[in-house]
Structure 1
Amino acid sequence: MGLLELFLIAVGLSMDAFAVSVCKGLSVRTLKAKHAVICGLYFGGFQLLMPLIGFALGVRFQSLITSIDHWIAFVLLGLIGANMVRESREHDDESVSDSFRFMTMLPLAVATSIDALAVGVTFAFLQVDIVPAVSFIGATTFVLSCIGVKIGHVFGTKYKSRAELFGGIVLILMGLKILLEHLGFLG
């Protein structure tokens, strides 16, 4: 997997965290650097941890399903992406708390990184060098989450659904690319 592909996956995975960070930015009256850093650390940390856990699970079961790994990658990334696209079209009015406490941030970090767990399983099947990959994903999510808090504070909710839509489309396209490569349609 090349750097460009990894970057696109990292950005795609970061979009949920970015969207939540935008909402967090909306909720603060006076934006402080610590708000962005807290979001970045929670979301980036979980986006690093979850694919690592998924990778460990994938490695354990790899010998059982090597012959269908490209289909698994295609289905997992496609489902995750489709879910993100669907969520981008929903117009629910979430009540956004200005709390950056552990009990508020932890469930948000877990919820926004579940898709990264599935990507970690996919990485095991593709034999990706996991430590640099998850470090890159975590760092990308950290940066985008910090930016999201600022954007949310400055521009409002207008970018939330677009971010989720973009992330979902990227993941669907990456899954399709993996499938087409394994079926011999792409070199």
Structure 2
Amino acid sequence: MSGFEIVLLAVGLAMDAFAVSVAKAPCIGPKEQYKKVVLPFLFGLFQMGMPIIGWLVGAQLADIISEYDHWIIFTLLGYLGINMIREAYHKDADDDICLFMDWKEMLMLALATSIDALAIGITLAFLSVNVLWASGIIGIITFGISLVGIYLGHQLAKLLRGRAEIIGGIVLVLIGTKILLQHLGII
């Protein structure tokens, strides 16, 4: 997996955190300005840590299933991408997203938006990728994209309405398809 593909992967993974940042930005009160940096930091930290955990699990299985790893990668990335797209269309517009914005919620949001990064870590174990470098890139890009989402939240919340998750889902599906086609010798 090339550096460019890792950056694309990171952008795709960051779309959930970006969408949550855009949605939560209007919930940050004037006395809570520190949350404009803390929330993106937590997103980046969790997105950086989860691939490492997934890689540790996947590394234990790499020798056993190396013949089928490209199918596993394709299936995981495809599932995550399609799930992101589906969730973008099934969000309840009536949910009050500003009910809570405390530390517990911020940690839960960071965990929830990083679960797909855990699955990515499993797939990285089957590829020749430096997981620490890739995880660092994923964390930094997630932080940056989430920070942009926080600061543009008021304007983007109205404009995007789920499109960020759709774009992220499409990127994940395309990366999974490319890896499958490479391993099958088609490209």
TM superposition score category, shorter chain reference: over 0.9
Structure 1 residue 16 corresponds to structure 2 residue 16: yes
Comparing 146-155 and 135-144, the one that deviates more = 146-155
Structure 1 unaligned segments of length 5 or more: list them: none
Partner of 1:183: 184
**Could you tell me which amino acid in structure 1 is paired with residue 171 of structure 2?**
V
Q: Residues 128-139 of structure 1 correspond to what in structure 2 (within 5 A)?
A: 128-139=129-140
CA RMSD across the alignment: 1.6
Partner of 2:98: 97
Taking structure 1 as reference, are residues 31 and 157 closer, same or farther at Cα in structure 2, changes over 3 Å only? farther
Comparing 50-59 and 155-164, the one that deviates more = 155-164
Partner of 1:153: 154
Partner of 1:140: 141
Partner of 1:62: 62
Equivalenced residue count is 186
Does the Cα contact within 8 Å between 1:77 and 1:175 map onto a contact in 2? yes
Taking structure 1 as reference, are residues 85 and 32 closer, same or farther at Cα in structure 2, changes over 3 Å only? same
Sequence identity, in percent?
46
Taking structure 1 as reference, are residues 128 and 160 closer, same or farther at Cα in structure 2, changes over 3 Å only? farther
Structure 2 unaligned segments of length 5 or more: list them: none
Does the Cα contact within 8 Å between 1:50 and 1:114 map onto a contact in 2? yes
Give the SS at the match of 1:126.
Answer: coil
Q: Kindly provide the CA deviation profile for residues 4-63 of structure 1, in whole angstroms up to 9, marking residues without a partner as x.
A: 101110000000000000111122354975222111111000000100100000001111
Does the Cα contact within 8 Å between 1:36 and 1:145 map onto a contact in 2? no
2:177 and 2:101 mapped to 1: Cα distance? 37
**What is the CA distance between 1:85 and its match in structure 2?**
0.7
Alignment TM-score, normalising by the size of structure 2 = 0.93
Alignment TM-score, normalising by the size of structure 1 = 0.93
Considering fraction of residues, name the structure with more helix. 1
